[in-house]
Structure 1
């Protein structure tokens, strides 16, 4: 262990304060043992000085100095002897620093002879120099452990002695005295450093010995570990009671028994050995060392697992004399490992295999299919309407429902299939042999029918469904990863179809997915590159055909992909959460443009459900109105019924905040989705828009379409709302819509979506025509 000079002198604390406090205690205790020698050296040297100057100086001078010297030397000695308790104790850094005062006090007393006595009797200088040299050597030896005290004393005495010689112009002797002092100081430092390093080594060795003793003690005290030994004939010898107890026998019975017979137990007679026991026999026969060999044993009718390690033994002549090793009972550890392994591969909620085990099973199924030239299949199952159960009844009910789903699925599978839960409400089926395509289809259909039956959970009757995607190897993928991806794409198609169906993978699905991925990447850059723009479609009054507003329609023209339909990129924007920044840009841009129109012309902006679930959307609308200075009543936000399909309370609150700004609300595509009069009564819509499918049906004389339009108009009139018919393209449709009583009309008959410049020109012409009229 390296010891720096500052640590040695007690100027700086060591890295381990406790360890260094023990080392300092060693220094102080070593100084205690040599304290009598220091006292004797001072006494003898003092007597020599008195005898040397007894005829040259007054007796009372010498007596006074000698008495003071004895008092200080005795005090130092008493202080050192009081450190007996530090033999195995601890000492602070201040305790070590205080020893410097002892050295300085003694050095101060020994400054008198050279500076005072020798100045009055210079003829005794050589004798004095000899006494001081011997004294410094004695102190360098006796006070070396207390390096600060020794350096203080040697430095002080060497300095005063050299000063005396310099005053007497004995320069050579003065230089020799300084060199002697330096040599003695270096000797003190070396001895002190060696003492500390030796003590540190002893302490580390002691700790290592204690650690080894503790480990050996724990090994001896552990009932699950034991030593074992064989002779050259592979027979047990020196059998310990612990080994015998572990084998359910006695040392006398086992001593001399072949080790394989002792471990095999009852199977020794039948020869039905475990593979691990045969491996052990081979190792013993080849005289090869082995480590952590796992062995299954049956002890007193109980299954146990051992781990044994051993090395061959050689005598002094290098001859093989047997094996010696150690064994451990790892039954509990193995049970814990099996439990952990099960937890890692089985779902805690349903008890079904989890994603990890499903992937492993699929990999094995694909390997077997390739080996035998057959097919394997993978199904992904997603529950329909499960989220509504969680949202309305809570996750505990949802968890119990998942348990019922897993029970039904488990009833459908045979030895040819493995079913597991991938997470959430997603399940999967691995079919080892899917050569019969009709069998795969029948299983998928049975899964949908079985999971669609009602469930009784905690006095609740629950209805959910299932969508399934199927992929078959090797056509749809040769690896587990590609087959899972193919099944996922097929499942995505089933969900797009409304759920409750299954689809098999088709190459076009991958092409569609790749196109969707490419469009998503392009869409992320479209806004900042200025590729998005708004077109504006006129909305006119049904009776007067006067322009009342425009609907802002988002368009995307990509340099790479051309003009892309909103039906393609709007769903992508909603799924990737890009609809937020895009929607903010649409509202801001539409407000800025509408500010240039006449005051009686409104602008309508479509709002995605994802935007309404953003708590900052109201602030975006308010900021857009304030920046553009557009009157709030000239902005109309169009929402669809899907807004109320989830978290309706949140959507209604967002709409209420927008209404408080004075903005108008329009309900778009009414009647095409989940229609409810409840949200119409809770939310103050100003307009209901009738989808073009009803307009087209009514123009063809479809009774249901005519009845729906009449009902919507009557409902809107009773609630004080206007109605806008979308998709009016011909004069006949216009006439019919007027007869049915719609308030406003929108469609190609009055204008297609127009670029911003043309829309602004129409708006300004409309204002001029209105003024002229």
Structure 2
């Protein structure tokens, strides 16, 4: 429904024409006032001429003849001249009139009022009661006629009536009738009040009519545009559910002529071949029920098969009744939303499935585990969660490259899927880590057999691109709700069990135990070492180049944290970052990384940006924004040269305040990047609510696209199109070959990061790149 604008309040100054007030369409209202007056030009002239004749005849022989003839002549001449002027006017029906034209009409009324105010005063002393009564009657009749005919122009009517009322009162005083004089004044006041009220109602009514007319024009325009649209149409059925008034757009959507569709069953047209079998889709049954119950419905989605092709329609409609309440049928609107639904399905698949393996991703696994826990709690049963980590997989990536590693992950997923029954769901959690949700874990022996079978199957040799590969698998299991009553607790318990299996050398199955001493001890040692790592100078930053996809020019570096312990050696960030987050050490470590990266970036050219990874835990630190401001201030690095990278996990905590912190970061002029997009939680809704400047496309998509895998190509295109529509830049990670580079550039990615353009390097090596570029340019 198109809302109508509220009618502006008319004050008395606007009603009298003394001001235009705040009424937007006042010129059109003034035109309506004058048009109403002009329509009564002939009746007014007839009344004035008749009144002049009657008054002349009643006073003839009693009043001085010359004075009577002069008055009558002037009055007749003025009435005829004013009427002729109105009739000759060509713009009396103009769409808009000014306040000055309204005042001209008022002046004419004042002039005629002055002429008619003369007789009661001038001829008060002539004749007898008959002449006085004639004067009184004719004058009162003129006052009443003026109040009736001149109501649309209240000021003119008020002055005309007031002048005649005062004239009559003066006559009554002259003939010594003071009470009648008071009555004349009262009559004048009454007529003036009625005139003002009538005039105000006229103006408000005309204003409402104008607004209604404007709204009707808008509605007509919208309907015409709606009918001319390419995807939407109007539809109408009668009480027997047969099509009537078939629009050209609906006929086009159904693939038939409009005349051929008149009178045909709407439901039968929608059902298609399923009409005879009665095997209708549920949405069509819902539509039939709404039509049967004569209920309104909105945005009802249903599949429609037309000439063997299934389309998706969205319908809305309301029942129609005549004035007697008789049901006439339905009238509604429809649209073809096939493209939107297909896009939604692709995005939903991207959000819930891992693009490399086709398995459910972490989001779907956690949802399935939450449901399994809820069912176990309801039915007093058990569920289980298995975490699977591939052994020696990193060696495959390091020696043969990530392409072989990705193909290996696909083979692993195939073997895992073959082991699953209807009671289990297997998904990829990320990297070389998989998870299995067991909905019914009432038989511990069966869980053990499944764990052993997974290890056995994944340990058999793989043939990948003429390479025979040997890896293994470690499995950790937790039973719910015994080992955890929430998803997070159960996953953590399974993770601790997995660490126990890895500690044993891999290729083992271990169930969660309340005390996992070895694993806890390792984490304790790492935590203790972390607390002194920065102080002892054991940590340093490496920088990996990020280049433009268009010309391979250097646009920035990603700062990567590295830790080399004097006894434990190089410790992977995947291991110590998790410990730092759990031990609440990530804040000082992250602050050092920020400060060091900014101090190094100041030494680079002014157009080179530095990207720093930010942990989810850092965003939950109340001092994080302060530490960012401090790093920029002490280093002198402009905010626009700093980019903070976050992962989708930052949005998993409801009400954590992380989104608000990101907003403060953006307000400082710092850029935000969404890392590993599509491989984790895929919180797509936050892309429209958080102003990311960059989306980083995971390496698995990049390499899948380079292999011309249809799914990866479609996903990369979807991500690029989505980023472009949201004014974001895309960065492709893990580009290692020239073929991958060319493919990614053709797909529209704007930036590239990978071994093809440089491995992570220390700060001095990064600075050498600039001198090399300078010499090359020279």
Q: Which band: TM-score by shorter chain? A: 0.3 to 0.5
Greater Cα radius of gyration, structure 1 or 2: 1
TM superposition score normalised by structure 1: 0.47
